[in-house]
Structure formats: structure tokens, C-alpha cells
Copies of this chain bind each other. A is one copy, B any other.
Amino acid sequence: MIKVGIIGVGTVGTSVVQILQENADVIAARAGVDIVVKSGVVRDLTKERGLAITLTDSVDDVINDDEIDIVVELMGGVQEAFAVVKRALKAGKSVVTANKALLAYHRYELQEIAKERAFEFEASVAGGIPIITALRDGLSANHIESIVGIMNGTCNYMMTKMTNDGVAYDDILKESQELGYAEADPTFDVGGYDAAHKLLILASIAYGIDAKPEDILIEGIENITQDDIAFAKEFGYAIKLLGIAKKEKNEVELRVHACLIQQDAMIAKIDGVMNGISVVGDKVGETLYYGPGAGGDATASAVVANIIDIARSGKSTPMLGFNRPMEGSQLRLKPTEKIKSKYYLRINVSDRAGVLAGLTKIFEQNSISIETMLQRPAKNASANLLISTHTALERDIQNLMSTIEKLDFVNEKPAMIRIL
């Protein structure tokens, strides 16, 4: 019998306990042993949870319990969780976590410490979709060329509603908060940070890249308007918040931002709260993984899969997929300013003569070539210029944006969305 201790018995922790009980028949058959939750750590012992496990408010009760084989960390946060899982590993436990923030900052240190013990984290990326398993084990024969993923259900729900129902950003944010899809402070989701944590985890498995959130380009969906949606529809695009990892020679670019994607791409067809991750390998081509990225049961499904895996095979694969560094071809992070993309710009200008000539000259000076332009009338004798460019350097587009922003005929800070 395998005994599990859970640190943090909230929504996901409760689902883990319930799945291990309700699906005990199939889990025992697959694992070859019975798996039971012995105890759980909670902050508030007085709260009624209706679970048939021993509850304690002391982490020590789990970590020092010799009967417990696997510690499941679901407390969240970074530093405290890091301290707790380190202690658990050093006490000889295997560890399973769903904590993406912990991994975004400490995954390589954890891999070092977890050399002898299993440390699994399937639930940390895309909830119930077994993307870690797919990428680490299923696609291991490939050089990964790119990962393009819808990794945040909140943003995808909001973008889908803005597209299908014509709702304004502020209204759909309010609705998402009422539905429980968005937090009271939504920054972590709509600002792209949640997706960035997940992208960094996938990038380590695909490329062995050790980057932190601060090192990469992260933008959210806060500035997207119905004008942008209209432009997207007009030119056959969907708008999605994407996490993107792309290899070119020895460099890997990592970025999270809203993106215009051609409507017929599989990833553009993923709507609502669902997640989807497209992975291109040099040998397999494109594969795509779709499913629920959040929710207690879906996330717990991944946590329990890791527990079963440890029960039946102990430590099998290396935590981040690499048993040793790649010889002679170590990949490194591409500096943000060197990223290349096509861009879409929305510039609100005064509707008067000479404006277009003035603008296009600045595009030329910054080596940026315009592909399409759409002019839509806006409030107060102004117009919105909706412009898409040919491939350009991130550095050049940033220079262009800061130049344009200061022009007297430009009425508000211009908006920019990258095109995939």
C-alpha cells in the first residue's frame, strides 16, 4: 500500500482525496497497489471539509511521518512551498506538485535535489491535459521546433466572448469574475504571468532552457478592443493569448502575448475556457493537445496520474526530461529585441490631411514595411488606423511605437498585437 500526505487541502486537494477514493478500483488495478491518503495539512482545522482523512495544521506531521511515501504539495506560493518540498525530498519522500510558480522559479534546483526521488508536476501546466508526459516521453525523439499554446483558460474565455458576442473587455472581465473564471485581482491571468510560468516549464522539457519569468517577454490581453477583433475578423484571424517557444539555430525565444492567428489553424479553433497546446517536432511534425486547463477534478486527475506513476515505477524519467546536457549544442534564450514577428498596430489619429504621409515615413525610417491597412472612423473627428506589417524586428517595432506615441496627430497610446 502506498500512503500519501497532502499539503494544502483546498479545491484541488479535496478532488485528489475524492478521486483516490471514488476511483480506487481502477487506480489500484493500474498501480498494482492500493493508494490511500493518510493525512492532509490545512491552515484552519476548524473548517468542516467532509473528508475521511486525518487533518493537521502542521507540515511536520506529514514530512516526519515514516509511513508516508508521497507528499503532494498544493499549498501554492513560491518560497514557503520551495522550503516544504525540499524538506520532503530530503526526508526521502517522492513529491507531486501542481505549483507552476514554484517551478517557474526553482525547477532546476528541485531537479538537483530530486535526483534520487521522483518529483512530478503534470498538473502544473494545462491542468488535466497530460502535456508534460506527452512532451517529455512521447516526443522525446524530436528536436522541438516550436510550442504554441493556449495555456490560460480565463484569457481564452474572455477572448472567445469578445469575439463571438461583441462584448467589451471590461464587461467580459466583470462577467468572468462573477462566474469564478477570473480572480478579484485578475492581473496574474490577464497580464500573462500564469501562462508564462507554464511556458517556462515546457521550455525546460523541450529545450533544457533555464529562464525565469523576468527574463522573457510577457504581455497580457488588457488593451484589446472591439476594433482589434473587427480587424481580426476582416482578415481571417482569431485573437488568443499564447505562450510561444520557438527554436532557431542555437537560440530559443520565449514569449507570452496576445496574438492574431489564422482562423484555420487548429489552435485558433480552441474556444472558451479550454486549453490547447500545439507542439512541432522536427520529425513528428505538428501534434496538438486539447482539454480543460483548470478546475478541481481536471487538475487532480493529473496529480493522481503522477501518484499512480510513482506507485508503479518509482522514479523513472529525469524530472525535466534530460539526463544530461546536450553535447556541443546547448541552447540559449534569445534576447527579446531580436525576436521577429509580423505585427498589427492600432493607431488613433486626427482625421486630417498629411497624417498618413507622416506616419508611413516613420514606418520607413524604422525599416518596417506595411502589409495591409484599414481605416475606421472613431470618436471626435479621429480615425483608427488598423495596420499589419511584414516581418520585422521587435526592437524596430518598439522604436516605432515610442516615436509614434509622441506625434501630435496621434491621440492615444497606440496598441500593438503580434501576428503568428
Contacts and interface: CB of A to CB of B under 8 A. Distances in A.
Nearest to A301: B284
A130 B138 contact: yes
A133 to B, nearest CB: 5
Contacts of A417: none
A317 B313 CA distance: 6
B266 A281 contact: no
Interface string A142-173: 11000000000000000000000000000000
B286 A291 contact: yes
A200 B176 CA distance: 42
A354 interface: no
A324 to B, nearest CB: 5
A202 interface: no
Contacts of A216: none
Nearest to A33: B323
Contact of A285 (B128, B139, B324): B128
Contacts of A134: 130, 133-134, 138, 289
Sorting the interface of chain A by its residue count into under 10, 10 to 19, 20 to 34 or 35 or more gives 35 or more
A31 B327 CA distance: 13
A139 B329 contact: no
A140 B208 CA distance: 27
Contacts of A324: 28-29, 32
Contacts of A25: 326-329
A288 interface: yes
Contacts of A28: 324, 327
Nearest to A308: B140
11 contacts: A29-B327, A122-B138, A130-B137, A130-B138, A133-B133, A141-B304, A283-B298, A284-B302, A287-B289, A287-B291, A288-B291
Interface of A: 15, 19, 23, 25-33, 122, 128-130, 133-134, 137-143, 208, 266, 269-270, 281-292, 295, 297-298, 300-305, 307-309, 312-313, 316-318, 321-329
